[in-house]
Structures are given as C-alpha cells and as structure tokens.
Chains A and B, each alone.
Chain A
C-alpha cells in the first residue's frame, strides 16, 4: 500500500463526529488500484488523500468472506453433503499468500514454502478442501466453529494425511486431486475414502487390466466412458477407505453391485457423482 499525499484542512487530531468519505478511482492496472479520497465532516472538507494505491487481490466472493470472517466462512464449495471441493483458480501470488495466511499454521506454511510452486498449489488446494470438511463436521456434530489454522494436516510415513489437533481426535479424512481440482471428506469415528477422476475414454487394454468381466456386465448401457471412470473412482475410494490404496492392482477389489449412482464393493457403498468433467466418489 502506498499514499502519495494527505492534506489536512482541519485539525488532524480532532477526529470526533461523523465523516463522509468520497472515493474516486483514478487508475487501475492488473496489479494495483489507485484512488483519491475526500473526507468531509459537517459539510467541510477535513482532508484529501491523493494517490492511495492498493495491491489488487483476485477477490471473489469466497475469498472476500473468508477475509472478513474466517471463522464462519470457507473457501471450498460443498458440492454434496460433507464433500468439499477447492480448485486452483487463482493466478496471483498475493492470492496464494492470502490463502496460506488464513488456512495454515507456521509449521504447515514452512513445509509449503519449501515446495516447488506447482506442488505447493496442489498441496494447498487439497488441504484447504479437507480443512473445510473438518470444520463443517465439527460445526455439524459439536456446534463448534474453528479457524482453519487451529489444527494441522500431517502425513504419515506412507503419505496418508491425518488431522492433528485437540478437536480433531477420532476424525478420519481423505483427500484426492486431479489436475486443478481437489476434494476432501471428513468423518468422525470411522475411515473415509474419496477420489476424483477426469472423464476420459480408456482403451480396451486398460479396461481389461482394471476390471473383471463380471464388473463390466453390471454397467448400464448408456454413458460407457463415464461409467468406466465411476468404477475406477469407486475402487480408488474403497482402497483409501481400507487404508491400502489400489496396490498397483485395481482388480484386487471387485464391484459387486450397482444401484443408481452407488457402487458396492464388499460391505462398503461408494456414492459417485458427475461434477463438470469429473467423477467424484466417496465411501458412505
């Protein structure tokens, strides 16, 4: 922030009463906004500020709300009950700095700063999504509101994320990202698995490697490409739910039945949805 000049027409120390402030934008670039201000009291000019320049943030509605009241707002979008999505939609370094300050504690920020920029953004979006999922869960189950910086997201030796904080004991999480999108889920008392995948055609060779013929026989006739991805996402979410992942072999877990958009593997049901060009699936 910069100010070119301030001219006081009355006593600077006398700040009692109601002031009327008129602001006129004089210049706006991609990076900065500059304005002049006139402050008046009792119909007399009290001061004129020229050349007040602020760095422009890419403020959209979620960023604005989080900046005004971080305790009661979140950056992620709740795309289905308990499922939070956040995307890499910001271009400016200042926006990412802003998100980091609002969402991450000192230890988390230090580890984020040590990463290469692309890796850092990928990490930030998934952590924001899952922190919002945890906050929403705490609010729903305990009627308690928390700031995102009050707990941490850590990773165990196998890379699995887990929350660390007095209020997050017994909360299980799962995160997933694809391209510039990240999703997060939080559950208390039981594990959760989530996955996101781009809807894209797969070769017959791929389908043969990933699925048993009995699984393919369950698929509805229409929308084959999306259904192949739903099945993939279901297996991936299931693998995360049991804490093992796909272990390089998607055939290890078998889809037993499909009902609507729900896929069943063993005694676990995976809910899937189509969201833009992606399939998102999570264990119920």
Chain B
C-alpha cells in the first residue's frame, strides 16, 4: 500500500513550509537567505528560478505527494504568461484541491 494515501491532508501552512524547504533544496541555502519567500513570491520573477530548477522542484513535489498530484500535467496546461506569473500560493491551492478531491 502506498504510504501517501494514509497521510493526513496537510494544512495550508504546512504545505507552504514544505514548498519552502523544496525551494531551498533546489536553489541552495545561500541564495534563499537573500530572498523573502512568501505566498506571493513568483517562481520566475521573485525567486528567479529557471526551467531546470522548476522541474527539480516539481520532482520534489511529485515524490512527496505521489501520483495523486499531477503537477507537471497541471503546469503544462498553462499559458506562458501564467507560468511566468506562477506564485507559491497557486501551487498551495492546487495541492489543497487535490487533497480534498481524493
């Protein structure tokens, strides 16, 4: 049995903190120190993450939440301007919606 399915849904705050940990792992602690990561932070503009870093981040989201969350599928449905403006909060809401529909 997949351990993920027995997991309690995470609160919005817990998801936020988890995503912050993933970002730190991807772009490195020394860069995160200079950033004020908030729910309103956008991946490309504020966090200055490039595609390869965003995919590394996606992988962490995927391996944590399992196949229930089709993160890359969700991203690929977006237009370029939506992707550029993608904020942490959008992902938190997406994960919450996946958790509640499970």
Contacts and interface: CB of A to CB of B under 8 A. Distances in A.
Interface of A: 157-159, 178, 197, 202-203, 205-206, 208-210, 232, 236, 244-252
B52 interface: yes
Nearest to B76: A249
Contacts of B75: 247-249
B68 to A, nearest CB: 16
Interface stretch (B7-15, B79-87, B93-101): B79-87
Contacts of A209: 55, 58-59, 62, 72
B63 interface: yes
Contacts of A251: 72
Contacts of A246: 51, 55
Interface residues of B, number: 20
Contact of B83 (A157, A210, A236, A245): A245
Given A197-B52, A210-B55, A205 B76 contact: no
**What does DSSP make chain B's interface, helix, strand, loop or mixed?**
helix
A148 to B, nearest CB: 26
Contacts of A202: 56
Contacts of B76: 247-249, 252
A220 B38 CA distance: 43
A23 B74 CA distance: 69
A274 B38 CA distance: 37
A203 B55 CA distance: 11
B62 A205 contact: yes
Nearest to A206: B59
Contacts of A158: 80-81, 84
A203 B22 CA distance: 14
A24 B41 CA distance: 56
Given A205-B63, A206-B59, A209-B62, A249 B72 contact: yes
26 contacts: A178-B50, A203-B56, A203-B59, A205-B59, A205-B62, A205-B63, A206-B59, A209-B55, A209-B58, A209-B59, A209-B62, A210-B55, A236-B51, A245-B80, A245-B83, A246-B51, A246-B55, A247-B76, A247-B78, A247-B80, A248-B54, A248-B76, A249-B73, A249-B76, A250-B51, A252-B76
A239 B54 CA distance: 15
A248 B78 contact: yes
A251 B62 CA distance: 15
Which 5 residue pairs across A and B have the least CB separation, nearest first? A248-B75, A249-B76, A205-B59, A206-B59, A246-B51
